[in-house]
Structures are given as C-alpha cells and as structure tokens.
Structure 1
Amino acid sequence: MRQHLQHHVADKFSRKLRFFKGLVSQPKTVGAIVPTSVYMARRMASVANPASGLPVLELGPGTGVVTKALLRRGIEPQKLVAVEYSPEFCRHLRDELPAIRLVRGDAFRLEDTLGALRTTRFDCVISGIPLLNFPVSSRVRLLEDVLSRIPKGRPFLQFCYGLSSPIPPGHGQYSVTRFGIEIRNIPPAQMWMYRRTG
C-alpha cells in the first residue's frame, strides 16, 4: 500500500513538472497554472459518445488528463485524435499514451494540421486551448471550423477560467450553454458547450 502511494505521489509530481516545463516553453498556448483536475476531466469526457463509432477530436490535451478520461469513458485509442502545439507536451503524450493518434500542430489551422484526417467526421470536440489568449475573431473561426467537422447537435466543449463564455454568442450560427463549473479544479474553471444552429 505504501509503495503504491509513493508511486502515485511520484507520478503526480512528474505530471506537474512536465506541465510546468510546457508552460515555460510555450506560455501563450498553456491556459492553466496547474494541470486540469481529474474531476473536471471526467466531466468533460462525459460528453463523448463511444457508441457513435466516430472518433473524438481533442484540442490542446496538454499532459493528457482529459485524454485519459476519454479512454476510461470507452473511446478506443485509435479513435482519439489529439492536436497539441507544444513539443514538450507532445513528447510526454507519445511516451505516456502511444496508442492515441497524436498530431503536433496548430488547432487554429486544422485543415493543414489534420492532414490526411482533414475530412474525418468526429463525434465531438473537446478543447483545453487557452482561448482567452487569442482574439475573438480567431476563437469564432475555430468554433465554426470544428462545428463543421461534427454532426449537427453534437458539442464542442471548452473549459475556461473567465466568468463568461470565451466565444461570445451572436457572432455566428451557434448556441452557447454553460455546461458547468468545477470548483475542485485549481483555479475553479467553467465549461462551455457550443452547438451549431444553422
């Protein structure tokens, strides 16, 4: 039991160390001060539907906390496409989760970044990208892009530390819904759900 606890503590420390290395190397692309909590990861992963048969697209997986929650949800590794910009996080994800389909690139240029996967239809999109670091116009373009890659009615889920939606309503044919707040995250974070309406 003691050995298991020591391993758990060491693993948690190692994950935080990798997170901070990624934060230092790419400050604009990391939106948190500590990795996402497992509680919020589980809540975010809950929107994925393994029974759909479609892959899930994750943007900005970071250290892979939500990625692991998606796998526990029942998404098969080969049906999980993760787009990560940070080389540090990519190295970590390749070591820790070698079976997922990891793509190193810019989520704001998905057509180029996805390459051979650019025509893939996804069940949903889950994002940890720090959208508040980017102009509103870029956020709206990203939303419109990802909504065109999932069936109408399926969600794009984003977490954010701001008080209001990082993608404001009224800039396109999409709805904005507060999915919830996770106070056990540090700092507390809100989750926002977007769906296509047009």
Structure 2
Amino acid sequence: MAEAKRVRCHYSDDLKFLRSWAAKPLTTGAVSPSGRWLARAMAAAVDPAWEGTVVELGPGTGAVTAALLARGVAPERLLAIEYNPDFAEHIRGRFPGLGVTVGDAYQFGDALQRAGIDKVAAVVSSLPLFTQPPLRRRRLLDEAMTALDPGRPFIQFSYALVPPVPAEAGRWTLDVSGWIVRNLPPARVWTYRKA
C-alpha cells in the first residue's frame, strides 16, 4: 500500500513537472523531478548539525527537499524559495512546517531578508542555471557566498560537462561529483565553497 502511494505520488510529480516545463521551459528547466539518487547526493553535502538555515532554491515538487529532511535537516530549519506558485503550494502541502516562499531565487539577498534569515548553513540549488546568462549565474553565486560562512557549501546539479559558474581563486572553490547515472538524464553535483 505504501509503495503504491509512493509510485502514484512520483507519477503525479512527474506530470506536474512536465506540464510546467511545457508551459515555461526556461523557468522549469527539466521535464521531470530530480531522481532519488541525485537528491541524496545533493543532500549528502549538508551537515544537519550546522547552525543556521538550509536554503533550497527551486525545490520544484520536493525531491531534494525530501532528501534533505531524510538527512536530518529539521523542517523549520529549511527555507524553500520557489518561483512557481503551483510548486510552492504543492511543497507546503507535502511538507508541513517547512518554510516556503514564492520568489525569484536570483534575488537571493532580498529573499533572505523577506524571510528573516540571517544565518545560512548551506544553499542547495536545483535551478536551471544554464538557462540564464553567465553574469546572472555569477551574481547569484556571489550573493549566496556573501551569506555563507567560509567552507559552507552552495550545492548545484547540472547535466552539463562544464560547471555552471567557474571556480574563482580567492573567492570560492569547486568540487564535482562523478556522473550519477541512475538519474535520467545522468547528472553531476557541483559543490562550491566560500574561500
């Protein structure tokens, strides 16, 4: 029974994503949610004991959110910033107690200020960064790094061979995972850390 419910929820999330992608492909950026292997790889870079709020950018239907919660991040210590109001409403219903705000993640500092967040433990992003100009991507990373303590991560996945934003000596470092082939399409996790 529980497995049948999980499968129904998975297909429902896939359908929500496909509809959203068909309507606005540059905003949604994917035709289906992140797979559980990718979501777990992203969540693995977050230590639930770190002080502050874990900020999730572009949670969609909540695949990575679920992995972060399973990792031990308390719902009240997680803020999801979602551009799509339908996805935000879905996340609120799926994860009671989770902080969800509708807004533009590329206005990172403003979104934190509106939510009253002053200490960020980590940033976990499922944004389709490659749909944005390089300067806008870099500005987002720069704003996030300003909010993070040295060594704390900005975690991003992509399907590309190159990083969404290159490493910058003296500002941030960059590590990349191997290909997560159980995800369709295969993806990699890029972890930026403030120098």
Range of TM-score over shorter length:
over 0.9
Question: What is the Cα deviation at residue 73 of structure 1?
Answer: 0.7
Asked if the contact 2:51–2:119 (Cα under 8 Å) also holds between the matched residues in 1, the reply is no
Match of 2:100 among 92, 99, 102: 102
> Residue 65 of structure 2: SS of its match in structure 1?
helix
Per-residue CA distance 1:84-115 (angstroms, 9 max, x = gap): 10112112111111311001100111222233
* Pairs within 5 Å for 1:96-175: 96-117=94-115, 119-170=117-168, 173-175=171-173
Q: Runs of 4+ in structure 1 displaced over 6 angstroms? A: none
Letter in 1 for 2:59: P
Question: What is the Cα deviation at residue 181 of structure 1?
Answer: 2.2
Question: What is the Cα deviation at residue 180 of structure 1?
Answer: 3.2
Q: Which residue matches 2:30?
A: 32
> Residue 61 of structure 2: SS of its match in structure 1?
coil
Q: Count the aligned residue pairs.
A: 195
Distance 2:73 2:117 in 1: 20
What TM-score, normalized by structure 1, do the two folds share? 0.91
What TM-score, normalized by structure 2, do the two folds share? 0.93
Letter in 2 for 1:111: G
The 10-residue stretch of structure 1 (175-184 or 54-63) with the greater mean CA deviation from structure 2: 175-184
Per-residue CA distance 1:37-89 (angstroms, 9 max, x = gap): 10111111011111123210110111100001111111110100010101121
Q: CA RMSD in A?
A: 1.7
Question: What is the Cα deviation at residue 9 of structure 1?
Answer: 2.4
Distance 1:102 1:178, change over 3 A: same
Q: Which runs of 5+ in 2 are unaligned?
A: none
